[in-house]
A and B are shown apart, each in its own frame.
Chain A
């Protein structure tokens, strides 16, 4: 290589570093900038709000009734304390001069005023949105951890690291969860932090660095456990990673590392989940109840899947054909690169592959044994797939024989990730602009152009009567008394069927949803959101019958 070429190569590596960080910033800005937090009602939210009301009323900092580990409690607490912060000096002064009964609003008019103000705030949509902003902020560092983890295993590969961060940060399936009052994206962030620290352990350079990694890993696993007990499996790969830290190989050294790891884990877990030491039996009892609850659901439950193979297949289907992109072909393409990355890791970084692969495999194995499929439990698998995606890009880049092939790979990945970013912006626009009127207009547009006969629910018929009567002859007659419908589709309000009879996480459940893109309705059918009462759904007749939709009482509409 000539001096000029070497110089140019050195310059380009520096440029790649700058570009990599800039792209990471672009991904982060896209993730935050396209996040519409005003998503209406979401699962579990009411319970969390109730806790915060109790917190304000009773001036306590733990959950009144243990339901989740403690981190779920922090975003709302942060918002409440944020409102208290400006008043804090006055509150302290009033309490200090009052009778010696601490933390009673009776002794502090300012505290009492804050309580009253907070009752009002907690009852408003504004508080929910502010709380969701904190949840989003908690989830955001996942991008950084993935970026750094790829760089740790493949130093200097900034663009691949940025692409791996883009894989998760531009994934609709991931980002839609970050906008809710939902703990799993936060847990995913801590899992990604643990993943990064495991790569640090595998590539440690100094003894001091090894010890710091053990402490950090303990803290990260403590935070994962502070989110959900199911994170306990992370202890296994963390321990394996600790045993591989260079320069800490003797028995005494390893015991020291393990001691540091467990000390950090217990201290952090205790700090973020105080219920666990204030009421350990209650927490344990709740944990066992939760496991029993997950195991006990029957086939009639909307989230039922047949364990273990049906459940496992459903996880894989979502993870590899749905999660990476809203276009299945793109999703599969990105997943193929991840598969190549997994192969490359096993091939050339066997220790790293085996260590990092333990957690996702254990999680999938144990979760597959349950009959309950809850999508959010699998968000924590995405960082591992993203890391494999980065590894796959690097492997392919190094092995594609011709320059045009490498250019094509880079262009294809860039285009798909740009499409994903564009999709997030489209989703945001859909959430902000969809109203009852726009939904009705969309449904009317469908009615005016469809080539299918229709089965229409009575309420949907009432709303769409004019459009339907213009093109169809509709009547509520027994099917036997008239000619058969020609390839009929079922048009109905989502709320025309009992929520408990919908199936969730069914790929291709509906032909089409007429609703804001608050989420992927096929996979999270029972979502309430903001204008659930106006949501229309279009199904095949077979699917409708399968879900016990009472199509026999629907209007039968023949095209004129």
Chain B
């Protein structure tokens, strides 16, 4: 309900309609005075001029209370605050701060005690509360209309923004490649060479099959897409001599004979055999996928690609990088 009222400004409009235009102008002036006094109070307090700061904070509260008088000149403070739209808690807080206005103000910074600090905070909060509540109630019809439109536009922008954020992945799904493998090498339970490493765009991380085993790695393409070729970098340890890479150890795994299977609509649409060489530089091999007739023109709507490692060099198979070329 409060949100609806915040956007509709019904209560504010009812109060504003009953305010005399001259009184409205004077009250708006009072609110502006209050705002300026509160701002300078903050600055003075932050600069260590606390006695002056407290004085300005109290001036700010006085000005806000004077402005409240415009919306119901003959009412009591309690009624006035209620008409300004404050709930019971806020009314009590403002009334308490207003009650302390009569206390003598400290003459110097040295005379400012802990109670004065509390009074400063209470006065500033009360002024702010009152100003926020009064501001829409002191607008004319044009101003109210403008405020209403601004609030509606803000609410709309927030709703649209949140909805867009929530729906973005559904509306505009980012192309994704999920990867899995028949197995991966695990060394003494702490070192691993998982299949994700073959599609992470990092040439120095690898998927390794367990030593001595043949196996496969499979890429699932979301959404299915046209694929013209694969570019593959064989497993290697080219950088093993790098003294700065504590994680790099020599290994003796690389794939030799591979068979690439491509699937679209649940059917196998290509099967290509290739032989990889062990690499000593950063060479990649391009394997065109030309469909069942091998025309080299690529395949449409490919949803899955499986690379079967049929044999390997030395201890086992593995790949460093797989790129899907569209």
Contacts and interface: CB of A to CB of B under 8 A. Distances in A.
Interface of A: 3, 6-7, 9-10, 13-14, 38, 40-41, 46-47, 49-50, 53-54, 57, 119-126, 152-156, 203-207, 209, 246-247, 348-349, 351, 436, 495, 498-500, 526, 528, 530-531, 533-534
Given A205-B45, A531-B203, 7 more contacts: A13-B39, A46-B247, A119-B189, A124-B197, A124-B205, A205-B118, A436-B282
B192 A6 contact: no
A53 B190 contact: yes
Given A7-B29, A10-B31, A156-B42, A534 B205 contact: no
A9 to B, nearest CB: 6
B90 interface: no
Contact of B39 (A57, A156, A530): A156
Nearest to B27: A3
Given A125-B196, A207-B114, A10 B46 contact: no
Nearest to B35: A10
B47 A204 contact: no
B31 A123 contact: no
B205 A125 contact: yes
Contacts of A349: 47-48
Interface in B10-31: 25-26, 28-29, 31
B33 A206 contact: no
Contact of A119 (B28, B42, B192, B204): B192
Given A6-B36, A205-B45, A125 B202 contact: yes
A528 B196 contact: no
A120 B45 contact: no
A120 B42 CA distance: 56
B268 interface: no
Contacts of B121: 205-206, 209
Nearest to A436: B282
B245 A203 contact: no
B202 A530 contact: yes
B184 A120 contact: yes
Interface in B194-225: 194, 196-197, 200-205
Interface string B171-194: 000000000000010100111111
B238 interface: yes
A7 B193 CA distance: 67
B204 A41 contact: yes
Majority-rule SS of A interface residues: helix
B186 A119 contact: yes
A3 B201 contact: no
Contact of A155 (B33, B43, B203): B43
Nearest to A14: B35
Contact of A533 (B31, B42, B190, B238): B238
A154 B43 contact: yes
A125 B35 CA distance: 54
A7 B32 contact: yes
A38 B239 CA distance: 19
Contact of A3 (B32, B193, B245): B32
A6 B194 contact: no
Contacts of B202: 40, 125, 530
Nearest to B284: A436
24 contacts: A6-B29, A7-B28, A7-B29, A9-B35, A10-B32, A13-B39, A41-B247, A46-B245, A57-B190, A119-B186, A119-B189, A119-B192, A120-B184, A120-B194, A123-B193, A125-B197, A155-B39, A156-B39, A205-B118, A209-B117, A247-B113, A247-B117, A349-B47, A498-B243
B25 A3 contact: yes
B243 A499 contact: yes
B263 interface: no
B246 A533 contact: no
Nearest to A247: B114
Interface string B96-130: 00000000000000001110011011000000000
Interface in B238-252: 238-239, 242-247
Contact of A500 (B29, B190, B194, B243): B243
Given A349-B47, A528-B245, A205 B184 contact: no
Contacts of A154: 43, 46
A524 B201 CA distance: 23
Contacts of B204: 40-41, 533
A328 to B, nearest CB: 30
Nearest to A253: B114
B50 to A, nearest CB: 7
Given A9-B36, A126-B200, A206-B118, A534 B43 contact: no
A263 to B, nearest CB: 22
Contacts of B25: 3
Most chain A beta-carbon neighbours within 10 Å: one of B113, B194, B245: B194
Contact of A124 (B47, B189, B194, B201): B194
Nearest to A121: B194
B32 A207 contact: no
A351 B48 contact: yes
A116 to B, nearest CB: 8
B48 to A, nearest CB: 7
A499 B193 contact: no
B239 A533 contact: yes
B243 A152 contact: no
A136 B192 CA distance: 26
A104 to B, nearest CB: 15
Contacts of A38: 200-201
A206 B117 contact: yes
A246 B189 contact: no
Nearest to A206: B117
Contacts of A155: 39, 42-43, 45-46
A13 B36 CA distance: 9
A310 to B, nearest CB: 25
Nearest to A8: B32
Contacts of A156: 39, 42-43
Nearest 8 interchain pairs by C-beta: A123-B192, A6-B32, A155-B42, A3-B29, A10-B35, A247-B114, A125-B200, A124-B196
A190 B149 CA distance: 41
Nearest to A526: B244
B194 A204 contact: no
Contacts of B46: 152-155, 203
Interface in B43-79: 43, 45-48, 50
A153 B244 CA distance: 46
A534 B28 contact: no
Interface string B245-268: 111000000000000000000000
Most chain A beta-carbon neighbours within 10 Å: one of B39, B202, B282: B202
B200 A13 contact: no
A207 B117 CA distance: 8
A55 B64 CA distance: 60
B63 to A, nearest CB: 10
Contacts of A40: 202, 204
B324 to A, nearest CB: 15
B39 A204 contact: no
Nearest to A350: B48
A203 B194 CA distance: 55
A308 to B, nearest CB: 29
A435 to B, nearest CB: 9
Contacts of A9: 32, 35-36
Interface in B152-188: 184, 186
Most chain B beta-carbon neighbours within 10 Å: one of A122, A205, A526: A205
A68 to B, nearest CB: 16
A152 to B, nearest CB: 7
B194 A533 contact: no
Contacts of A125: 196-197, 200, 202, 205
Nearest to B54: A205
Contacts of A207: 114, 117-118
A499 B192 contact: no
A50 B188 CA distance: 13
B323 to A, nearest CB: 10
